[in-house]
Structure 1
Amino acid sequence: MDLRLRRAFSSFPTGVVAVCALRDDETEPIGMAVNSFTSISLEPALVAISVANTSRTWTKLAAASSVGLSVLGHGQEQASRSLSSRDGDRFDGVRWVAQDSGAVHLEDAALWLTCHFEKLVAAGDHTIVLLAIDDVQHFDDIEPLVFHQSRYRSIVA
């Protein structure tokens, strides 16, 4: 069933979102890529992501007071792959900007959201993370990166 569900879920095209913050030493970033992102509410401004309970990165990100969500842009496939890797420097070759709050955003993204954690909800082998939005920066000229059927794709006008 697991493989059938994985294939079925891949039929739904999603964006790719980098979730990043500064590490405890406040000089180096930590982050991961997720494709389980959704808008929740306009008032209050809320979004949600879903993270695997087995994620080693999530346990470190969960301690951050502020996180940056970057909706990746077309051409950022390598950044997504790097942020999804289990080994090595996830930010090697990835251009990023740290905010005063400790949130980290990726350059060339289609959207930046600066958020803080609102609520965590246990959901099977994942945790649903509800995030309150503190700031928004939208980049209209950047097309988003799309993930569909386990492949990166582009939106064609």
Structure 2
Amino acid sequence: MSLDPREFRNALGQYPTGVCVITANPEGYQPFGMTVNSFASVSLDPALVLWSLRNDSECLDAFNKTKMFTVNFLASDQVALSNAYSKKNDHDLVPEQFRIGKSGAPVLRNCLTSFECETWARYDGGDHIIVVGKVIEMETKPGAKPLVFHAGKYSELR
């Protein structure tokens, strides 16, 4: 069976996801971030999470060189932040929008949740690299609503 890539992507878009910005600052790079919706939890003990990155992403080399990164769950009022870090070749973090966390990785301000992670493993995932991180620091903002993406657009939980 052969799947049409566009139809497959549209079908996947029927699954609502949260929106994250993955941030890092490996040696030789400015602190940067990239918007993703390919996040999943993996394990509670140890605390492991994963996300994926296209093999042809302009951020691939930088993420391959970093040991530490942060997964920042965006709140419903952070659409502009999502849009800013989803632009091709424009990923440098705006200084007022982040702080350096305990792990040394940048953490976006006012996010729903931020997980500072140490890279645990990288796996081949077809046209993506799957990055697994061990959560070593965590910050949450209880009560805020998440930014959700569904069917090609932002949505809100009701």
TM-score (norm 1): 0.91
Match of 1:20 in 2: 23
Match of 2:128 in 1: 126
Given the alignment, which residue of 82, 85, 94 partners 1:83? 85
**C-alpha RMSD of matched pairs (Å):** 1.8
Match of 1:71 in 2: 73
| Range moving further from structure 2, 80-89 or 65-74 | 80-89
| Range moving further from structure 2, 79-88 or 37-46 | 79-88
Match of 1:146 in 2: 148
1:91-116 per-position Cα deviation (integer Å, ceiling 9, x unaligned): 35871111243211111210010001
How far 1:77 moved relative to its partner? 1.1
CA distance in 2, matches of 1:94, 1:10: 32
Q: What secondary structure sits across from 1:74 in the alignment?
A: coil
CA distance in 1, matches of 2:122, 2:47: 16
- Structure 1 counterpart of 2:72, which letter? S
How far 1:69 moved relative to its partner? 0.9
Match of 1:39 in 2: 41
| Range moving further from structure 2, 48-57 or 81-90 | 81-90
How many residues align? The count is 155
Structure 1's consecutive aligned runs of 4 or more residues displaced over 6 angstroms after TM superposition are: none
CA distance in 1, matches of 2:24, 2:107: 8
Contact 1:16 1:35 in 2 (8 A): yes
Q: Find out whether 1:101 has 2:106 as its counterpart.
A: no
The alpha-carbon distance between structure 1 residues 88 and 119, as it changes in their structure 2 partners (threshold 3 A), is: closer
Structure 1 gaps, min length 5: none
Identity %: 28
- Structure 2 counterpart of 1:139, which letter? K
CA distance in 2, matches of 1:50, 1:29: 19
Match of 1:4 in 2: 7
Structure 2 gaps, min length 5: none
How far 1:54 moved relative to its partner? 0.6
TM-score (norm 2): 0.90
| Range moving further from structure 2, 31-40 or 82-91 | 82-91
- Structure 1 counterpart of 2:136, which letter? D
Contact 1:19 1:32 in 2 (8 A): yes
The alpha-carbon distance between structure 1 residues 99 and 92, as it changes in their structure 2 partners (threshold 3 A), is: closer
The alpha-carbon distance between structure 1 residues 16 and 75, as it changes in their structure 2 partners (threshold 3 A), is: same
